[in-house]
Amino acid sequence: MKVDFSIIVPTRGDNPHLRQALASALATDERLELLLVHDRRPGEPPLPSEVGSDSRVRLLESERPGPSAARNRGLAAAHGRFAAFLDDDDVFLASHLSRSLERLGAKPEVTLFACQAKLFRDTTRDGSMVPPADHTGLPPLWPGASGGPLTYGRLLLGNLIATNAVVLARDKLGPDDRFDESLTFLEDHEMWLRLARGGHLLWFDERPGVLVRKREGSSSRDRRGMAEAALEVLRRETDRGLPTGEVDSGALRRREGRLLHDLAYACLAEGDPRAARRALYRSIPRLPLLAKNYAYLVLSSLPSAVGTACLKARSSGP
């Protein structure tokens, strides 16, 4: 059977939300293969054979730890014309792949199709909540985002692409168009920027195609690591030299200031006021009117336990 789509699903192991993710992906199209890549740590059990009972599912083992290596393993093994990605705790809407095919077919110059995603809150401890059948009332991941081409400059000032919402035209990818496994966070954003810088056309569809699960603790990912990775990606891009006319220098300066502000918040939340002050001394010249920078500077002068407690009391986020 001709394969249109290779859906790459990294997973750390079997669980209820993995089964939901697989079911949602397999229901989108008959002409697909699903590459379930087990990012297994030493001593962890293999995936049970029944998760691969559908003939369209192939079970793979990642060669190195981390989601980037798992996705790269899937890309290397893919047979489909297009590669789609899905995390093991999220789900595809039924129209996702068909809409991507409409766009990629109508505009053969497009390398990357991405769509809007909706967020749903899962209050169960094991992530087993069934996603709502009606997603119309759910909040979007990118509020107000408009459809159309995603330019390099637009992406540099803020990532509008969730990896789960991406479909790639595999024949337009070169051998080096892979996720950077040296990055712990935002390796996907770095790859989208690399594609855009290389002249690939990226397209955003404002209609939702994916439901992203928000669980207790999922928002407590390593904030500091995320902010540091975002600054590293921005530094890499500016060191390469920005394409002429793509990015306004003032907007870029404000973007860096905001990321430094986020880093300061994360450092304060971790009880590291010295690192917070270093970030704030760099953020304030870039965002001199951001009042929270000065509030954080005051908190960073307090004993770390007091500053962290005050931070949590006044704000749930940066």
| pLDDT score recorded for residue 317 | 59
CATH number of 85's domain: 3.90.550.10
Q: pLDDT tens, position by position, for the chain (318 residues)?
A: 688 999 999 998 888 899 999 999 999 988 999 999 998 877 778 888 888 888 999 999 988 888 999 999 999 999 999 999 999 999 999 999 999 999 888 788 999 999 999 999 999 988 889 999 999 999 999 999 999 999 999 999 988 899 999 999 999 999 999 999 998 899 999 999 999 999 999 999 999 999 999 986 554 468 899 999 999 999 999 999 888 888 899 999 999 999 999 999 999 988 899 999 999 999 999 999 999 999 999 988 876 655 555 555 555 556
Do residues 16 and 156 share a domain?
yes
Do 236 and 137 share a structural domain?
A: no
- Beta strand 5-11 pairing with 91-92: unpaired
39 and 115 both lie in a single domain = yes
User: In this predicted structure, what is the pLDDT of residue 88?
Assistant: 92
- One domain for residues 98 and 185: yes
Three-state SS across 125-176? CCCCCCCCCCCCCCCECCCCCCCEECCHHHHHCCCCCCHHHEEEEHHHCCCC
Beta strand 91-92 pairing with 148-149:
unpaired
- CA separation for the pair 148, 130 (Å, rounded): 32
Domain boundary among 146, 181, 216: 216
H or E stretch at 51: none
Same domain, 112 and 187: yes
Q: Are residues 194 and 156 in the same domain?
A: yes
Assign 12 to helix, strand or coil: coil
Same domain? For 200 and 229 the reply is no
- Domain total in the chain: 2
Q: Are residues 152 and 252 in the same domain?
A: no
Domain boundary among 162, 189, 216: 216
* This prediction's pTM: 0.90
My answer on whether 211 and 245 are in the same domain is no
The pairing of strands 32-38 and 57-61 is parallel
At residue 219, the pLDDT reads: 45
Q: Which of 183, 216, 249 is the last residue of a domain?
A: 216
**188 and 228 share one domain:** no
pLDDT of residue 105: 81
Residue 139 burial class via C-beta count within 10 angstroms: exposed 0-12, middle 13-18, buried 19 and up: exposed
Query: Which amino acid makes up residue 236?
Result: R
pLDDT at 315: 57
Tell me the residue range of the domain where 27 lies.
Answer: 5-216
Residues 112 and 237 in one domain: no
Run of H or E including 115: strand 110-122
- In this predicted structure, what is the pLDDT of residue 14? 83
Q: In what helix (H) or strand (E) does residue 238 lie, and over which residues does it extend? A: helix 223-240
pLDDT at 314: 52
210 and 240 housed in the same domain: no
Cα gap 116→206, rounded to integer Å: 5
